[in-house]
Chains A and B, each alone.
Chain A
Amino acid sequence: MGPKRSGASSASSAPLPPLSIDPTAVLSDAISFSGTYPITIGANSVLHPRCKLNSAEGPIVIGSNCIISERTQLIAPDIDGLVLGSYVHVEVNCHIQAARIGDATSIEVGTKLGKGSCIGDNCTLSPQSIILDVDVLPAFTVVYGENQRRMDTSATAVARNETMLAHIDCLKKLLLNKSEKYMR
């Protein structure tokens, strides 16, 4: 875990890891970057304030059209790093040490993804679900209730991606874009 507790002081103290931020991405104030491996943030992605990205063990790649919410920690598990696909929605207060998160996957509030776990495309993890270390979720898995699993056959993936785009559009209007602050 990152050595710093307060995300607000990230810009002032330790040096930032090498960042490559797409110009269309929106990064709020007070995001905590730590570690030494590079962090890549794709086009049109939104990072809320006080989310924490720790690349001490490996690189972090965030795809396009992703939303990373407040107080969420993205921690690269190993040298292979943490790779998020596109249209990934990570909700508030998640603790993510996964290796891969597939496209259009929605990770709800307070979810814990164990070290090196692999989440497939179009998965949905309901609030407070826990994925164990090195666990692999196939595509279209829904984790609900008391960590029960079922297959999503609702064919709503396209609709959800559209909702994501609308969500990002809205966030872009609401959030202050401070990505230049991290570009230095």
Chain B
Amino acid sequence: MSSFPYIHISCPCHEDRPQTLTLDSARPITPLKSPSKHDFNFPLTDPHTPTKRRTLLGGFTPSVSFDSGNINLDLDEEEEELTDEDDDNNNFDPRDPRSAFSLFPIENLLYCEDCHQIRCPRCVQDEIVCWYCPSCLFEVPSSTVKSDGNRCTRNCYLCPVCTALLAVIPVNHSSGHSGTHSDHPTGPFNLFCSHCHWTTSDLTPPIQLEKPTSISAQLSKLTHSSQDSEFIRLKQHYAQQLGNAQEDFTNSPAALTRLMGLYTGLGSGSGGHGGSRKGRGVKKLEMKEVDRPREVGEEQELEIIERMAVEGLESTTTSKQRLAQPHEPRFLSDLTPTAVLLRTKRSKRCRACRHILVKPESKVQTTRFRIRLVALNSIPSLTIKRLDSTINWNNLIPHKTHRFLLTVTNPLFDPISVSLLTPRRTPGTAFASRVTILCPEFEVGASTDVWDDALMSTKPAASSTSGVATPPVAGSFTSFSKDPKMSTVYEQKRNYTSVVIEVVPPEIPDTRETRIRDERLLEIPIYVRVEFEAEVDRDDEEGGGGKPSHSGASGGAVQRERVEYSYWYVIGVGRVGDPVEGVVASEPNTPVRTPVGTPVKAPRTPAAMRTPLRQVRS
């Protein structure tokens, strides 16, 4: 169970249709922008896509709607009820089994600058850059991985008892004093675990190495089990058989004709494939089974039981230890050192446009990245704090109005205007909590230099626009149920803005015992729409191939462009606790908060809301 509060972002990739397809219908195609440029952004690699697009556009229904209470303030009660029902059908439901797979914390998300879309671990493609041993940091070529397996073939071994790294120490510790044993360690060697003090001498029979180097070669001789030798025998046999039949499997013309003959023979129905092969004179494939396959280890069961009776349960392995070993040994004295598993460095690609999102340095020793497009640098991040420190995240009180501080942080170099939209009742549950964002529309300053704020102390006040009143003093919010300032932002600093969100959970029965689903878990979906004016290099746009950079540093053809995108965020606020005496439901429990500033505009077209990023000429 994750600890509260948590904030996840829904990656649009979970929607089963490609969501970028409706983009063209939403925006007017201006002669300045060639449509081909936008087509380039779409995942049109699939040959079926054009037909799919037509059907989609024909039967398009809006799948996102918003709390009308925030939008149409003059609606009467019945209509509100109606729209509440609509909300249940159309809003993002964080409890939907499907959405569970699309929710990620922002730290796990990447951002594709070409698609202008966040990319979750499910919609990126991993490519292995290199294999390496995490212990000795040696790179292992992929050909070696194919032939020798994915374990370190050098001197790295793990303790079979506690999985710590083993060290090589001499068996007979030099009785001479400290310092002398370092120059010439002699005699047989042990592998020694410095964590749990397991040594290879604990095995029966004890394993002692002659040299402190090339441990893999020495160990493979010493820890040879009967299962291994039988496996090698079988492998050799079948490799030989396969070698005999090699020409049947290769891409030689003979193999092709044989395959074709196979199918035509079957298709004509004349006698089965054996006959057709014979008729065409292709060499017959003969696979001989191994002579006497021996079953290893089965006859030892009685022996094992007797040994268990003598040595007791303390000498048996745990399931973890057993599963980490090749032949699942029953006794601690049968455990052998396990070679360190190799790890990979991976680059990540956007599945839609094939651009690389993450590319680590191929050198094993460096932890730097050549390319790393994380979502944290491109989309605003939300954080939630308690306004009242007595709120217990794990025990929210039913019918009590909990006030939280929702902070939107802007990583971009342009100021953004943010609209937060949330269904008034949390969707997807019979026990809906009431959620009110006191100031759903506000601005967040640009992520400029930290010192800009200090140098220009008057800037925050000047930057507040018509929709946002000047940030009041934080102390004035202690009792603001009838405060006219309730629709103002709580705090506004250099690149973040905080607003108050009120949550009133209902009484919810504890369902953890009876159901898988935890009804008391309070998750609030918030639709965050971001609009900003970005500098777009027009030459770049006309070229069609280049990416629209936000820097706009090149040339004089820099133009401001209105950019907007939107995502569903899900805030795991906490768990609702047992009802508390004295806190009872009041109807309505909170007065309907009407934003004083401009109300949230309803989306003009559903397509506009579905597009993660829409670029409209201003």
Residues of A within 8 A of B136 (CB): none
Residues of A within 8 A of B198 (CB): 150, 154
Q: When the two chains form their complex, are residues B195 and A156 in contact, meaning their CB atoms are under 8 A apart? A: no
B177 within 8 A of A: yes
From residue B312, how far is it (CB to closest CB) to chain A in Å?
Answer: 13
Residues of B within 8 A of A153 (CB): 197, 199, 201-202
Residues of A within 8 A of B161 (CB): 144, 150
Q: When the two chains form their complex, are residues B196 and A144 in contact, meaning their CB atoms are under 8 A apart? A: yes
Residues of A within 8 A of B195 (CB): 126, 144
* Interface flags, A146-168, vs B, CB<8A=1, else 0: 00101011111011001101100
Q: In the bound complex, what is the Cα–Cα distance between A132 and B178 (angstroms)?
A: 36
* Interface flags, A115-155, vs B, CB<8A=1, else 0: 00000000010100000000000000010110010101111
From residue B145, how far is it (CB to closest CB) to chain A in Å?
Answer: 30
Name which residue of chain B comes closest to A143, CB basis.
B196
Given the known interface contacts A126-B195, A159-B173, the answer about A154 and B178 at a Cβ–Cβ threshold of 8 Å is: no
Q: Which of B155-199 contact A (CB under 8 A)?
A: 161-162, 169, 173, 175, 177-178, 190, 192, 195-199
Q: When the two chains form their complex, are residues A156 and B192 in contact, meaning their CB atoms are under 8 A apart? A: yes
By a beta-carbon cutoff of 8 Å, the part of chain A in contact with chain B is 124, 126, 142, 144-145, 148, 150, 152-156, 158-159, 162-163, 165-166
Residues of A within 8 A of B192 (CB): 154, 156
Residues of A within 8 A of B197 (CB): 124, 142, 150, 152-154, 156
Q: When the two chains form their complex, are residues B178 and A166 in contact, meaning their CB atoms are under 8 A apart? A: yes
Can you list 11 contacts pairing A with B, beta carbon distance less than 8 Å?
A124-B196, A126-B196, A144-B195, A144-B196, A145-B162, A150-B161, A150-B197, A154-B201, A155-B173, A156-B197, A159-B173
* Interface flags, B401-414, vs A, CB<8A=1, else 0: 00000000000000
The SS class assigned to the A binding surface is mixed
Name which residue of chain B comes closest to A158, CB basis.
B173
Q: When the two chains form their complex, are residues A142 and B169 in contact, meaning their CB atoms are under 8 A apart? A: no
Q: In the bound complex, what is the Cα–Cα distance between A152 and B198 (angstroms)?
A: 7
From residue B185, how far is it (CB to closest CB) to chain A in Å?
Answer: 12
Q: In the bound complex, what is the Cα–Cα distance between A97 and B581 (angstroms)?
A: 43
Name which residue of chain B comes closest to A140, CB basis.
B197
Residues of A within 8 A of B199 (CB): 153-154, 156
From residue B322, how far is it (CB to closest CB) to chain A in Å?
Answer: 15
Q: Which of B199-215 contact A (CB under 8 A)?
A: 199, 201-202
From residue A159, how far is it (CB to closest CB) to chain B in Å?
Answer: 5
Q: In the bound complex, what is the Cα–Cα distance between A156 and B174 (angstroms)?
A: 11
Q: When the two chains form their complex, are residues B196 and A145 in contact, meaning their CB atoms are under 8 A apart? A: yes
Most buried by B among A155, A158, A165: A155
Residues of A within 8 A of B201 (CB): 153-154
Name which residue of chain B comes closest to A127, CB basis.
B195
Q: When the two chains form their complex, are residues A156 and B177 in contact, meaning their CB atoms are under 8 A apart? A: no
User: CB within 8 A of A162: which of B162, B169, B178, B196?
Assistant: B178
From residue A162, how far is it (CB to closest CB) to chain B in Å?
Answer: 5
From residue B119, how far is it (CB to closest CB) to chain A in Å?
Answer: 37
Q: When the two chains form their complex, are residues A163 and B196 in contact, meaning their CB atoms are under 8 A apart? A: no
User: CB within 8 A of B169: which of A148, A150, A156?
Assistant: A156
Residues of B within 8 A of A155 (CB): 173
Q: When the two chains form their complex, are residues B196 and A142 in contact, meaning their CB atoms are under 8 A apart? A: yes
From residue A15, how far is it (CB to closest CB) to chain B in Å?
Answer: 40
Most buried by B among A154, A158, A159: A154
Q: When the two chains form their complex, are residues A165 and B178 in contact, meaning their CB atoms are under 8 A apart? A: yes
Name which residue of chain B comes closest to A145, CB basis.
B162
Q: In the bound complex, what is the Cα–Cα distance between A144 and B193 (angstroms)?
A: 11
Q: In the bound complex, what is the Cα–Cα distance between A124 and B197 (angstroms)?
A: 8
Q: When the two chains form their complex, are residues B162 and A144 in contact, meaning their CB atoms are under 8 A apart? A: yes
Residues of A within 8 A of B169 (CB): 156, 159
Q: In the bound complex, what is the Cα–Cα distance between A165 and B177 (angstroms)?
A: 10
From residue B477, how far is it (CB to closest CB) to chain A in Å?
Answer: 35
Q: In the bound complex, what is the Cα–Cα distance between A142 and B196 (angstroms)?
A: 6
Q: In the bound complex, what is the Cα–Cα distance between A144 and B194 (angstroms)?
A: 11
Q: In the bound complex, what is the Cα–Cα distance between A170 and B196 (angstroms)?
A: 25
Apart from A153-B197, A153-B202: 18 A-B pairs, beta carbons within 8 A: A124-B196, A142-B197, A144-B162, A144-B195, A150-B161, A154-B192, A154-B197, A154-B198, A154-B201, A154-B202, A155-B173, A156-B173, A156-B192, A156-B197, A158-B175, A159-B173, A162-B177, A162-B178
Residues of B within 8 A of A152 (CB): 197
From residue B198, how far is it (CB to closest CB) to chain A in Å?
Answer: 7
Q: In the bound complex, what is the Cα–Cα distance between A142 and B194 (angstroms)?
A: 11
Q: In the bound complex, what is the Cα–Cα distance between A164 and B196 (angstroms)?
A: 18
Q: When the two chains form their complex, are residues A163 and B173 in contact, meaning their CB atoms are under 8 A apart? A: no
Residues of B within 8 A of A148 (CB): 162
Q: When the two chains form their complex, are residues A163 and B202 in contact, meaning their CB atoms are under 8 A apart? A: no
Residues of A within 8 A of B190 (CB): 154
From residue A64, how far is it (CB to closest CB) to chain B in Å?
Answer: 17
From residue A166, how far is it (CB to closest CB) to chain B in Å?
Answer: 5
Residues of B within 8 A of A159 (CB): 169, 173
Q: In the bound complex, what is the Cα–Cα distance between A131 and B175 (angstroms)?
A: 34
Sorted from nearest, which 5 A-B pairs have the closest CB atoms?
A144-B196, A152-B197, A154-B199, A159-B173, A162-B178
Q: In the bound complex, what is the Cα–Cα distance between A154 and B198 (angstroms)?
A: 7
Most buried by A among B161, B196, B198, B201: B196
From residue B418, how far is it (CB to closest CB) to chain A in Å?
Answer: 43
Most buried by B among A124, A144, A148: A144
From residue A161, how far is it (CB to closest CB) to chain B in Å?
Answer: 10
Q: Which of B493-514 contact A (CB under 8 A)?
A: none
Name which residue of chain A comes closest to B174, CB basis.
A159
From residue A116, how far is it (CB to closest CB) to chain B in Å?
Answer: 26
Residues of B within 8 A of A142 (CB): 196-197
Q: In the bound complex, what is the Cα–Cα distance between A126 and B193 (angstroms)?
A: 12
Q: In the bound complex, what is the Cα–Cα distance between A146 and B202 (angstroms)?
A: 21
From residue B471, how far is it (CB to closest CB) to chain A in Å?
Answer: 38
Residues of B within 8 A of A163 (CB): 178
Residues of B within 8 A of A150 (CB): 161, 196-198
Q: In the bound complex, what is the Cα–Cα distance between A124 and B196 (angstroms)?
A: 8
Q: In the bound complex, what is the Cα–Cα distance between A183 and B311 (angstroms)?
A: 54
